[in-house]
Structure 1
Amino acid sequence: MSINDHKLVRCNEKDKETLSIFKKGINDSYGLISTWSTEKDCCAWKGVSCDNITNRVTKLDLNLERFRTLTGEINMCILELEFLSYLDLSCNDFDVISFTTIQHNITHASNLLYLDLSHNEHSTLQMDNLDWLSPHSSLKYLNLSGIDLHKVTNWLQAVNTLPSLLELQLSHCYLNNFIINPSIQYLNLSSLLTLDLSFNNITSQLPNWFFNLTKDLAYLDLYHNNIHGEIPSSLLNLQNLRYLDLSLNKLQGSLPDGINQLPNIQHLGLYGNLLSGSNIPSTLENLSSLNYLSIGRNNFSGEISENTFSKLSNLDYLVLSRSNFVFQFNLDWVPPFQLQVLSLSNTNQGPNFPSWIYTQKSLQSLFLSSSGISLVDKNKFSSLIEIISDYLDLSNNSLTGDISNLTLKGDTLYLSNNSFTGGLPNISPNASDVDFSYNSFSGSIPHSWKNSKDLRFINLWNNKLSGKVLEHVSDWTQLLFLNLGQNEFSGTIPIKMSQNLYVLILRANQFEGTIPTQLFNQSSLFHLDLANNKLSGSMPKCIYNLTQMITFHFNFYGLTIELFIKGQHYVSKFQSEWRTFDLSGNSLSGEVSLELFRLVQIQSLNLSHNNFNGTIPKEIGGMEHMESLDLSNNKFCGEIPQTMSLLTFLGYLNLSCNNFDGKIPIGTQLQSFNASSYIGNPKLCGAPLNNCTIKEENPKNATPSPENEDDDSIRESLYLGMGVGFAAGFWGICGSLFLIRKWRHACFRFVDGVGDKLYVTLMVKLNSFHRN
């Protein structure tokens, strides 16, 4: 019983001391456990409950999911609370678990029934063993999901010491095996009703004994592991099974005969395996309790027809995507169920939209991408997609028509790669992800979109849209991804945009004016593409706060980006690590800001086809991740800095059509490109161009620079020193000859002797020549 009035209950001093020790390791930024004051009765502390008779702490509930506020250390001394039966520390951000004294201090019979340490959101707690569980044999609920247990090789044996366990949650624990100690004769888990081992790395087969753990098991989740081999026939022993999910593994073979005899099965997930067989349609016919069926992305075959679903009146979730089934439904078939979720993506449904789907009035999510659909009943189709409240994916079909008069209510709307015409449809204020790329939508962005404050992802690439976007963009404060490329939008680039932007693509439109300084203060931005517009002026001279292009510490999930790198166009999925800066094809001028070359994480830099001038700073050598660099068709001048030879990952380079001079720096990378990377620079030489020829310029016509003046001064000093030295040496020797008689006579005799020898040698050569 919970008692909050400390006037009625006085907390046991021993319990109070234990709680105080536990609190010392906790950081609480919101002060939600600030009530834990030693001046107050601990039974009045937040999250603490005491028995009103014994005054002992029986419950500690610090699940603060709304705030996720607690960080620091979980000191497991808390298990020393003798009468504690309920402990929930889940949904926080603890960094470490401490077991310093716990193994030695628990000498009493534990009363703990409920223990939840799961879901620490931003940190991964680790445990090296689970031996500390053994004193808590009364546990009925244990949830360690999200704790790293990869070092625990005997997790199953440790759990075996908990014979009263009803529910075991070990999701996301990095478990990788089912190893059993041979000394254990059997597993004593006969009470277990729920077992969740999803999202681990279990790479073994499913052993036969696994389904003999308990005959009363009702919930079994092995979703997203690497389990291989066949499904053991012992699965059929679980006659009380209501929930079975084996999706996203590597299971092979066919389903065990008799699986249709599991009378209570409601949830069956087999999606994403290597299962085969043609008997699945007939197997499904008798599973009348099913409300969830996901069997796509396998190698099943056979014909799916209305007979398959004739008894499945409870079905509300159906996933048959990426399957090889042959679908044969009568045009007038009305299913006995009303689905909430339907996925038939990557199946052959077309060319007609499946008429039976029009009867589904409760649909919240519809996945029909890449299904060969081109023909629809206009009125029924419009009514259907307007009721979808969650996820609508009709991408990669051949759908046509004008849907501008519709209001789509879905949070996520994917209509890309179709042939829709007319204006854009209205969207819900709750919309978050919108992808209408690769269609023929025209006109401007509807005013109703301005009300969608939660928009995170907008992709309108490659349509015929026009108008100004300023009034809309400034209201999308949660936006992460904005792609308006390949349209006819005009006006200036908005000054006020979401500070959360990761990707901004405005390529190939009619935007004009200058680049706003505020754009370079987007700390999250890692992909900026403003190419092929009518932008003018110079690059902003400011501090570039593009942190994601300086330090690499983020990955954006599920992203599809139009990449123009290495002289080619790529449609890149999940390339969140690619840092791009593209201003090509505009009328920008002036010198490039030095700040740009300090964005060291950039992998693709394209400033081509502008009017930039000035030199390339040596700081470019610090952009060591650069793979694609295009500075062509500008007015850059001066020498190519030697530091460019440090760009060892460079796979594409174009410096052509500028005013570079001097010799191309020697380095393996720069010489690996052919001459086309450098042509159009008349004063540039060196491999792979022609060899350099050194020409002396007339000093009278040359205008000395300050650096040249310094060189000339040094050269003049050198020559002057050499002249003085020569003169001193000459007169030193000659003076000695004239002043010292012996030296003078010896010198004359030497010269005279050399002359005689030369005369004799010459006459001998001449006589020999005449005889011949």
Structure 2
Amino acid sequence: MIQQLNLKYCVVGVMMMNGVVYAVLMVQLLAWRSSAVVVSSVKCIESERQALLSLKRGFDLTHDDDWLSSWGDGEQQKDCCNWEGVTCSNHTGHVLMLHLQGDGYTRGSISPSLGELHHLKYLDLSGHHFTHTPSIPPFIASLTFLTHLYLSFCSFGGNIPPQLGNLLFLEYLDLSSNNLVGGFPLQLTNMSSLTYLDLSHNSLNETMPPQLGNLLSLEHLDLSANAFTGTIPSQFKNLSRLQYLDLHYWDKTMSLSSDLQWLSELSTMRYLSLPRVNLSGASNWQQQVSSLSHLQHLDLHGCNLVDSVLTSSLASTSLSSVDISNNSLRDASLIFPWLMNSTRNLVTLIMNDNGLTGTIPETFGDNLNSLEELNLANNELKGQIPLSLFHSCNLAWLDLSNNNLTGEFHEYIREYSRCAHKPLQILDLGWNEITGMVPDLSQLQSLQELRLDNNRLNGSIHEGIGELSNLTELSLGNNFLTGLISEAHFSRLSHLGTLDLSHNALAFNVSVDWIPPFNLTNIYLARCKLGPDFPTWLHTQTMIDNLDISCAGISSTVPNWFWERLPFMMYLNISHNRFPGKIEDPPIVSYYVFVVAFDSDPHLSIDLSFNLFEGPIPAILSTASETFLSNNRFSLANPFLCANLTKSMRFMDLSNNDLRGELSDCWRGFESLVVLDLSNNQFYGNMPKSLGSLRNIKSIHLGGNNFSGKIPSSLHNCTQLQIFYAARNKLSGTIPTWIGDNIPKLLVLSLHSNNFHGNIPLSMCNLDELRVLDLSLNILSGSIPKCISNLSAMATQAKSNATITHDYHYEYRDGFSRTDSEVSGVYNDSASLTWKGKMSKYGSTLGLLRSIDFSSNRLTGEIPTEMMTLIGLVSLNLSRNLFSGHIPSTIGQLKSIDFLDLSRNHLSGTIPSQLAQIDDLSVLDLSYNDLSGEIPLGTQLQTRDASAYAGNPKLCGAPLNNTCPIHGHQISEHDADGDDDEQFVSEGFYIAMAVGFVMSFWGFCFSLILKKSWRYAYFKLLSDVYDTLYRSRWPNSKGSDLKYEASLHHHAYHEDESRTLLQFKQSFVITELLLVAWRPCDELKSSQFFGEVPPQISHLRNLLILDLRSYFEYILPNPINKLQLKISTLRSLIQNATSLEVLRLSFVTISSSIPDMLTKHSST
């Protein structure tokens, strides 16, 4: 009798059958059911019983003893027709069906005895790992009466046996989720009865045969997740019964393509999925899709679709699910009308990553009120989010992230609150320009993920958010939120796993013994005020993967229990606080339990930079793959470097500490290292030879130490090196020739301030990718090699890619799940370089530099003319050498040069006239040479300070006082006393020029005093100059003595400007919560200021100009100014600052309407 009937695929089949077939099937099922209840005296055939026992012996049942326990030789087990999973004929006793679907854990092999079940019609062996049967056994083809064959998830490899084509009665064939390779055997196209074919999730990699079109009975065809090439056969048009077609392609190479001309013939199609099939040639794809009147599901994501042929008049009235994401459908005015005309029954619409431009129609939500999922993320949509979207009371998933959309968030919540049923589970509006407050969200009880990060939300967060008991993710980072965060904000958030409140002016106000209801996995609270004490509630969070509490104002010690959890984390950032003291190594068992017992290679990124940690660097930190410990007070590196607890470290930054002693020779354990920065410490002695074992290293920074001796020759093995910075040490010997021969990818080489001697090696000319070469302040001699013109990277203009980046990709072992995971990303490198005589650190602009500095050596000979072919050079410093000869006449070719210093050499001859044609030249120094003749005419040369030409007694002309000869001879004293009529410039000329200047100057000044519009225009011009002229007055100003101007324009970061702004803050008496973001954290270096303008600013009675706007307000879509100004402060400022003439507050949040008194101000 029937023990088990597998109806796994009957649902799809029945849905797709017509009425007659459906009735026949039901009669068969009823007949089977009737025969099942009749106890037949017919028992199973003994030969078939033995075949089944042989099949059982092929299974490894150690993990599940109960499975197939009914199969045996016991007295009660004689009749195999009563065995689990076996169905026999009640008339003949032959085995007809085997339902042996596995659970994914059973292993073993398929016994050939299976071929003796000659009457078998139904065989399901899916879900077993037949590791001892590497390919599909051909003897299965001997089961000629099979109608259903299911062999999915069986770990089969090899080709599909062509013998399966002999199964002429086969209706269902499922070989999915194996490792099959090769192509589609032509013999399979003989199976004319086949209605269901699933070969998905294999590695079939040949072309699809046109004979697939011969399978005229096919209703379900799934060839997805393979690697088919070529085009989809046009013979697909013959599959007139096809209702389900899935060809989605995982390979990004898009080797499978189609023009879709066959599609309109498949009138019964209900489900069409062609992701990553190249449809760039399907110019009429919209018409083809619209012709399918029964189509319900359409998935064409990543198909290279374009909207050039779209029309809004077409309609696809049956569609309920549409995914056309990751294409180039850019015109929202064409896409949205087509979808709105198509159907009101659309449930799922996915159009992310298309580059969509334009606005979302105001009635979009009203037309599609059945929507449950809408994804328009990662486009270029602008304008207001229509309120109608929140009229869709069925909406469960809304993702509009990463656009330029605007609107008031609290208004959307107010609209949605009118819905009686609120199924919204995921709401993602992140990375837009949404404004407003975070209102009471307690009604959204289904909400699971709320992402509003990187918007312009302001005000405090309503405590009602703590009532969302199903919330798993809360992301409100990078907004303008202010106020206190209390325990009430989290009262019922027991399922919360991700919390992001970073980069807001929020302060936590929770009790010391607070135990949160959640156990977080991801915590991002950068810039939130958590200190001064370490937040004790973190002790209860035992599942942390990612933690960022940087810039949190914490100044207490880190508890020991915290470090014990370090190996179990993936990301830790506690930088830019004031954590003091030593870090004690936790019991080493904490690490070995993780690595040894769980067989894990952890991925951990640690950032402890900019704190006050001291003492030895603990060994436990070497478990990380990325370690950033710069700007602390660590004094000993050896325990950390030689612990060798893991070989997975990729990035190590120990710069700007107090590390002392010789550098340990322990680098053979760091073969994965990509970036090493040990600069600005107190290491001494020789560089260890084992540094040469860093075969994957791309960036080495050893500058600012006391290393001595030679550069170890083992470094020639570091063939991937791009940045080598060893300046400011005591290195000696000659510059190794292998640098040019073995390190061809070098971009930055800085060896300045050492004791290198000898010539510049000719092999240096092999570095055709070199952008920065600094050999200054050494004892080098000889001449500059003429082959220096081979430095081709300096012979081209710098591209827009200003950052030197290092891509990384690696796998690591997850000890808990025992699976391999992948990590990839980009590291932005930086380097400390000398620019215009000042040491500066370059990061985002490092890639733009093209610089050569050979200054302060003993180089001789002439400056090679070949150097003038390096037209990309931005800086050239050859000063303080022994160069002779002329300045090359072709120096004008260096059109990009900004800094040129040839001073203190023995150069002779005239200054080339081409030098005056270099427009970008801002610094020029030709002093202390033996140059002669007239300084060429041109504002670039005449307007410079005379010191640029000092020490050249034979030079003449402006700006020097030494006038040049007229008509070829020097002006004598007799000539000077001669007739004025013979002179071009007389004494009267100078008197007239002085009088004219005085009159013009005071006329201009009186005009500014008397005419307000002129005065405003003049001050506007001054304020728009890149370096504000008045900034130098801030540092020394105190309280009400600050006069004239206060400007907070946002420039690109310069470290001295950052210090100046901090001093400006300190010049006021500021209460605790004001300007909370004005502290020296890493984000301050981007000049992202927020907080409240202090009321004490109104004490500046002599203020003429107050400018709080952003320089980027007309460039950036989301201005970075985040200042807030109370109306009372503005009113006091207007009353007290009676001399105020220019007030700029664009993009500053003002708490109320502009006071009338502002319009009546006499001078503004």
User: Which interval holds the TM-score relative to the shorter structure?
Assistant: 0.7 to 0.9
Letter in 2 for 1:8: L
Distance in 1, matches of 2:627 and 2:734, equals: 33
Q: Secondary structure at the match of 1:156?
A: helix
Q: Does 1:575 align with 2:845?
A: yes
Q: 1:496 aligns with which of 716, 721, 724?
A: 716
Q: Does 1:276 align with 2:458?
A: yes
Q: Secondary structure at the match of 1:98?
A: coil
Q: Secondary structure at the match of 2:518?
A: coil
Q: 2:753 aligns with which of 532, 554, 570?
A: 532
Q: In 1, are the aligned partners of 2:679 and 2:702 still within 8 Å (CA)?
A: yes
- Match of 1:263? 445
Q: 2:402 aligns with which of 224, 229, 232?
A: 224
- Match of 1:669? 940
Distance in 2, matches of 1:78 and 1:88, equals: 14
- Match of 2:384? 205
- Match of 2:548? 367
Q: In 2, are the aligned partners of 1:367 and 1:392 still within 8 Å (CA)?
A: no
Q: 2:273 aligns with which of 87, 92, 103?
A: 87
Q: Does 1:589 align with 2:772?
A: no
Letter in 2 for 1:197: L
Deviation at 1:497, TM superposition (A): 6.7
Distance in 1, matches of 2:902 and 2:204, equals: 56
Deviation at 1:327, TM superposition (A): 1.6
Q: 1:285 aligns with which of 466, 470, 481?
A: 466
Q: In 2, are the aligned partners of 1:129 and 1:151 still within 8 Å (CA)?
A: no
Cα gap change, 1:11/1:579 in structure 2, threshold over 3 Å: closer, same or farther?
farther
Q: In 1, are the aligned partners of 2:331 and 2:357 still within 8 Å (CA)?
A: no
Cα gap change, 1:39/1:218 in structure 2, threshold over 3 Å: closer, same or farther?
closer
Deviation at 1:105, TM superposition (A): 5.8
- Match of 2:657? 439
Cα gap change, 1:568/1:456 in structure 2, threshold over 3 Å: closer, same or farther?
same
Letter in 2 for 1:537: G
Higher relative contact order (CA 8 A, sep 6+): 1
Q: In 1, are the aligned partners of 2:365 and 2:389 still within 8 Å (CA)?
A: no
- Match of 2:586? none
Q: Secondary structure at the match of 1:496?
A: helix
Partner deviation per Cα, 1:506-552 (whole Å, 9 max, x = no partner)? 33233444445565587765554433233333334335412554354
Q: In 2, are the aligned partners of 1:278 and 1:302 still within 8 Å (CA)?
A: yes
- Match of 2:922? 651
Deviation at 1:594, TM superposition (A): 5.9
- Match of 1:118? 302
Q: In 2, are the aligned partners of 1:154 and 1:179 still within 8 Å (CA)?
A: no
Cα gap change, 1:406/1:42 in structure 2, threshold over 3 Å: closer, same or farther?
farther
What does 1:470-509 correspond to in 2, within 5 Å?
471=689, 474-490=692-708, 491-492=710-711, 496=716, 503-509=723-729
Q: 2:768 aligns with which of 541, 545, 549?
A: 545
Q: 1:320 aligns with which of 494, 497, 501?
A: 501
For this pair of structures, how many residues does the alignment match? 665
What does 1:61-100 correspond to in 2, within 5 Å?
61=247, 63-65=249-251, 68-70=252-254, 75=259, 77=261, 79=263, 82=266, 85-90=271-276, 97-100=280-283
Q: Secondary structure at the match of 1:284?
A: helix
Distance in 2, matches of 1:365 and 1:119, equals: 35
Distance in 2, matches of 1:613 and 1:545, equals: 27
Letter in 2 for 1:170: M
Q: 2:359 aligns with which of 178, 201, 220?
A: 178
Q: Does 1:335 align with 2:555?
A: no
Partner deviation per Cα, 1:209-268 (whole Å, 9 max, x = no partner)? 1222x32322222222222231122244482222222223222221243x1221122211
- Match of 2:186? 6
Letter in 2 for 1:363: I
Q: In 2, are the aligned partners of 1:367 and 1:394 still within 8 Å (CA)?
A: no
Deviation at 1:650, TM superposition (A): 1.8
Letter in 1 for 2:958: A
Partner deviation per Cα, 1:441-485 (whole Å, 9 max, x = no partner)? 344666665444444444444333445557465454554544433
Distance in 2, matches of 1:689 and 1:73, equals: 73
Partner deviation per Cα, 1:565-588 (whole Å, 9 max, x = no partner)? 233344445225522425456646
Cα gap change, 1:504/1:371 in structure 2, threshold over 3 Å: closer, same or farther?
farther
Distance in 2, matches of 1:42 and 1:626, equals: 71
Q: In 1, are the aligned partners of 2:438 and 2:460 still within 8 Å (CA)?
A: no
- Match of 1:418? 632
Q: In 1, are the aligned partners of 2:332 and 2:358 still within 8 Å (CA)?
A: no
Partner deviation per Cα, 1:381-425 (whole Å, 9 max, x = no partner)? 432444432443333344444324333444443333333332173
Q: Mean alpha-carbon deviation: is it higher for 645-654 or for 384-393?
A: 384-393
Q: In 1, are the aligned partners of 2:802 and 2:848 still within 8 Å (CA)?
A: no
Partner deviation per Cα, 1:119-176 (whole Å, 9 max, x = no partner)? 98xxxx7533644995655555544444344334233222322555444333333334
Q: Secondary structure at the match of 1:345?
A: coil
CA RMSD of aligned residues (A): 4.3
Distance in 1, matches of 2:883 and 2:213, equals: 73
Letter in 1 for 2:703: G
Deviation at 1:286, TM superposition (A): 0.9
Letter in 1 for 2:943: S
Cα gap change, 1:99/1:53 in structure 2, threshold over 3 Å: closer, same or farther?
closer
Cα gap change, 1:665/1:61 in structure 2, threshold over 3 Å: closer, same or farther?
farther
- Match of 2:1026? none
Q: In 1, are the aligned partners of 2:393 and 2:416 still within 8 Å (CA)?
A: no
Q: Secondary structure at the match of 1:629?
A: strand
Q: Secondary structure at the match of 2:871?
A: coil
Structure 2: unaligned runs, 5 residues or longer: 1-172, 176-183, 193-202, 216-222, 571-603, 770-791, 806-827, 969-1164
Letter in 1 for 2:387: N
Deviation at 1:9, TM superposition (A): 2.0
Letter in 2 for 1:396: F
Q: Mean alpha-carbon deviation: is it higher for 425-434 or for 233-242?
A: 425-434
Q: In 2, are the aligned partners of 1:473 and 1:497 still within 8 Å (CA)?
A: no
- Match of 2:431? 248
Cα gap change, 1:544/1:430 in structure 2, threshold over 3 Å: closer, same or farther?
closer
Q: Percent identity?
A: 28
Distance in 1, matches of 2:879 and 2:540, equals: 55
- Match of 1:157? 337
Cα gap change, 1:248/1:493 in structure 2, threshold over 3 Å: closer, same or farther?
farther
Q: Secondary structure at the match of 2:859?
A: strand
Q: In 1, are the aligned partners of 2:352 and 2:377 still within 8 Å (CA)?
A: yes
Distance in 2, matches of 1:582 and 1:477, equals: 27
Q: In 2, are the aligned partners of 1:97 and 1:127 still within 8 Å (CA)?
A: no
Distance in 1, matches of 2:474 and 2:920, equals: 48
Distance in 2, matches of 1:499 and 1:647, equals: 38
Q: In 1, are the aligned partners of 2:283 and 2:309 still within 8 Å (CA)?
A: no
Q: Mean alpha-carbon deviation: is it higher for 260-269 or for 72-81?
A: 72-81
Cα gap change, 1:37/1:241 in structure 2, threshold over 3 Å: closer, same or farther?
same
Distance in 2, matches of 1:368 and 1:119, equals: 42
After TM superposition, the score normalised by the length of structure 1 is 0.73
Partner deviation per Cα, 1:476-500 (whole Å, 9 max, x = no partner)? 4554544433333443277537666
